[in-house]
């Protein structure tokens, strides 16, 4: 009942500020589906996908961005400079497959967390794209589906950052994959897009954790009978997890 009331109040606020009624979906962490909401929205992109996220370490979301590029979607990413150099960051992986990634060069933080898809839909909130934000932290994510005024505002803010060469630069060690002025590709004609499997993460660097355990595991370990969350080994160890003595990942 409280969540329903929150949704109604949010929609009334949008209408009072001159926006049309929006299709809004609200998610909360821990374990409330924030990561899957981002993945699903990115999977719907047909023309372009712009992402700005302070901390980006989730392989599963990176997989979806890589898959979007492989099916012809223009993908651009902005991250914070203090996070881009972290071993667990997905920034270098994305740049390595030709996705342009910028970071802030100014003294403040690039603290945004939002995703714009085709200039029509937006996902935004406190949710960083990390395992901790998914499984441990108290976070929120709001998805505005097919809400043009909201999407237009976020797309304009992304473009302001992307084209501001005095405050944003390419991440170190990665050549720019495309010009800052590159325009999004035209949306393909209405038809079923080709099936593209997300690129699998490197086995040697990927381990699995559970929401209740303190160990990280190899895929197939008996302690993963109820499932596990993929995470880089460095990220797992950075969060205090230690290797399972049974599967010895």
| Residues 90 and 212 placed together within one structural domain of the fold | no
Residue 218: inside a domain? yes
Measured CA to CA, the distance from residue 240 to residue 224 in angstroms comes to 18
Region class of 18: left (phi > 0), else alpha (psi between -120 and 50), else beta: left
- If you count them, how many residues does the chain have? 249
pLDDT tens for residues 167-192? 999 998 665 444 455 555 555 555 55
Between 205 and 60, the more confident residue is 60
- Answer yes or no: 118 catalytic: yes
**Residue 203: pLDDT band with limits 50, 70, 90:** very low
Domain ranges, residue 34: 21-170
| Residues 158 and 37 placed together within one structural domain of the fold | yes
Kindly name the residue from 81, 118, 217, 235 that is annotated as catalytic. Answer: 118
User: Would you state the pLDDT for residue 23?
Assistant: 87
Kindly name the residue from 106, 111, 138, 163 that is annotated as catalytic. Answer: 111
* Beta strands 229-232 and 206-209, pairing class: antiparallel
Q: Which long-range contacts (CB under 8 A, 24 or more apart) does 133-137 make?
A: 133/29, 133/34, 133/55, 134/29, 134/30, 134/31, 134/34, 134/35, 134/58, 134/229, 135/29, 135/30, 135/31, 135/209, 135/211, 135/229, 136/29, 136/30, 137/29, 137/30
Residue 103: inside a domain? yes
pLDDT tens for residues 26-64? 999 999 999 999 999 999 999 999 999 999 999 999 999
Residue 189: inside a domain? no
Residue 10: inside a domain? no
Q: Does residue 135 surpass a pLDDT of 60?
A: yes
User: Would you state the pLDDT for residue 18?
Assistant: 39
Decide: 90 and 58 in contact? Cβ < 8 Å: yes
Residue 188: inside a domain? no
| Residues 86 and 147 placed together within one structural domain of the fold | yes
If you average pLDDT over every residue of the chain, what do you get?
83
Between 213 and 82, the more confident residue is 82
Kindly name the residue from 50, 80, 81, 113 that is annotated as catalytic. Answer: 113
Residue 185: inside a domain? no
Tokens of 25: 């979906």
- Answer yes or no: 111 catalytic: yes
| Residues 140 and 211 placed together within one structural domain of the fold | no
Kindly tell me the number of DSSP H helices and DSSP E strands found in the chain: 8, 12
Provide the domain count of the chain.
Answer: 2
| Residues 153 and 233 placed together within one structural domain of the fold | no
Region class of 21: left (phi > 0), else alpha (psi between -120 and 50), else beta: beta
């Amino acid at each position: 009942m409280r969540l329903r009331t929150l949704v109604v109040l949010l929609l009334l606020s949008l209408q009072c500020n001159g926006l049309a009624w929006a299709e809004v979906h609200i998610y909360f962490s821990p374990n409330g589906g924030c990561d899957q909401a981002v993945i699903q929205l990115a999977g719907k992109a047909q023309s372009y996908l712009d992402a700005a996220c302070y901390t980006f370490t989730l392989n599963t979301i990176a997989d979806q961005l890589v898959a979007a590029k492989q099916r012809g979607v223009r993908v651009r990413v902005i991250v914070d400079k203090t996070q881009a150099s972290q071993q667990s960051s997905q920034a270098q992986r994305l740049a390595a497959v030709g996705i342009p990634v910028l970071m802030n060069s100014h003294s403040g933080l690039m603290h945004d967390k939002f995703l714009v898809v085709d200039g029509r839909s937006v996902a935004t909130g406190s949710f960083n794209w990390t395992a901790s934000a998914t499984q441990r932290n108290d976070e929120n994510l709001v998805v505005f589906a097919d809400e043009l005024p909201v999407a237009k505002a976020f797309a304009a803010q992304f473009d302001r950052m992307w084209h501001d060469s005095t405050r944003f630069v390419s991440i170190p060690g990665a050549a720019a994959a495309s010009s800052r002025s590159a325009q999004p590709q035209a949306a393909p004609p209405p038809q079923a897009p080709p099936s593209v499997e997300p690129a699998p993460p490197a086995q040697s660097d990927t381990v699995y954790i559970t929401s209740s355990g303190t160990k990280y595991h190899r895929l197939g370990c008996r302690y993963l009978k109820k499932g596990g969350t993929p995470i880089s080994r460095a990220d797992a160890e950075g969060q205090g997890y230690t290797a399972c003595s049974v599967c010895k990942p």
